[in-house]
């Protein structure tokens, strides 16, 4: 059985790489279908046809789409992300600082939401059918049903407009103390934590309940083992795979929620940068930002699959 683990892990990695290739082609085609001409947008309506044609040649926009895709893909593989159309700066330079801000927001959200969600989901599974379980399940379903923009808007109305406790916008340049740092992060973190914690609680609860219903858990209960021992020694080790998948899926969903949250709170992250790039038809910047999100999503999902393979007792 041990010989299956390397082949399964290699298979997951190859599938992720193939998926990334397909996603890169899809992203390039999607940006090509954006309305309007890039050269005309950059030069303005008063530009002459000769100037537009010259700019298109300078940016290689007159070349076949397949050739431009291969050149862009080759640049990604070699670390050359291209140059922004809007301000003529390297895309890597524009993304660098913004990516750090997004990673900070995601890290703070994960550090808060993952432990709370796992503890709540496990407790709800252990106390299945109790009042606590029913309240947690109802709240989780209710929060999952609410989109991110609604949670963000409600948080702004409550904490910024009515109570006036927190700022409606997040300006990282104004951070000079720990309290100011909390004021910058607390509104986006609250919004993202609500969204991903609810889904994580439901999936963790389901995984632990399934593990507790297995024959080995029932046998341990008949032998007189305590409920806590059954959960810690029998249920959780066999539920590691589903729980890791639940965490990975929730954190991957965080990447999509960041786009909405950064836009609403004007948070200077990579998602806000991509939204601004769409308005200026900055194709290299749009493509690279989209690839960063897809790469993060695939990395989380692939890591979860690999950890589930390694945690499978039958394969070990």
Tell me the pLDDT tens digit for each residue of 173-200: 555 666 666 777 788 888 888 878 888 8
pTM of the entire predicted model: 0.78
Report the C-alpha gap between 234 and 214 in whole angstroms: 10
Containing H/E element for 193?
helix 178-212
Tell me, what's the pLDDT at 181? 66
Q: What is the mean pLDDT of each run of 10 residues along the chain (316 residues)?
A: 73 90 90 74 72 78 84 86 82 85 85 90 87 90 81 82 76 60 77 84 87 77 72 74 79 75 82 84 87 88 81 64
Other C-beta atoms closer than 10 Å to the C-beta of 32 total: 13
Contact 168, 188 (CB under 8 A): no
Other C-beta atoms closer than 10 Å to the C-beta of 262 total: 24
Tell me, what's the pLDDT at 256? 67
What is the fold, at CATH topology level, of the domain defined by 94-298? MetI-like fold (1.10.3720)
Tell me, what's the pLDDT at 19? 92
Contact 303, 258 (CB under 8 A): no
Tell me, what's the pLDDT at 180? 65
Tell me, what's the pLDDT at 1? 45
């Amino acid at each position: 059985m041990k010989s299956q683990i390397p082949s399964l892990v290699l298979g997951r990695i190859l599938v992720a790489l193939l998926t990334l290739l397909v996603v890169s082609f899809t992203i390039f085609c999607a940006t090509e279908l954006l309305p309007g001409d890039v050269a005309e947008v950059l030069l303005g309506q008063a530009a002459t046809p000769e100037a537009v044609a010259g700019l298109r040649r300078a940016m290689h926009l007159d070349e076949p789409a397949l050739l431009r895709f291969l050149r862009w893909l080759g640049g990604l593989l070699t670390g050359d992300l291209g140059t922004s159309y809007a301000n003529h700066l390297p895309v890597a330079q524009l993304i660098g600082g913004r990516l750090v801000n997004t990673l900070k927001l995601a890290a703070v959200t994960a550090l808060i939401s993952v432990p709370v969600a796992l503890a709540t989901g496990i407790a709800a599974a252990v106390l299945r059918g109790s009042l606590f379980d029913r309240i947690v399940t109802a709240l989780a379903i209710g929060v999952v049903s609410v989109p991110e923009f609604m949670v963000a808007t409600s948080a702004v109305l409550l904490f910024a407009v009515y109570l006036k406790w927190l700022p409606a916008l997040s300006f990282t340049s104004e951070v000079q103390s720990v309290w100011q740092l909390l004021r910058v992060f607390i509104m986006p973190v609250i919004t993202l934590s609500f969204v991903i914690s609810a889904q994580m609680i439901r999936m963790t609860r389901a995984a632990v309940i399934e593990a507790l219903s297995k024959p080995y858990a029932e046998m341990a209960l008949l032998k007189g083992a305590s409920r806590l021992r059954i959960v810690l020694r029998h249920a959780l080790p066999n539920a590691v795979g589903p729980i890791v998948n639940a965490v990975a899926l929730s954190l991957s969903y965080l990447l999509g929620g960041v786009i909405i949250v950064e836009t609403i709170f004007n948070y200077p992250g990579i998602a806000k940068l991509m939204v601004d790039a769409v308005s200026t038809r900055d194709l290299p910047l749009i493509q690279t930002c989209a690839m960063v999100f897809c790469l993060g999503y695939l990395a989380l999902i692939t890591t979860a699959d690999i950890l589930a393979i390694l945690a499978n007792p039958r394969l070990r």
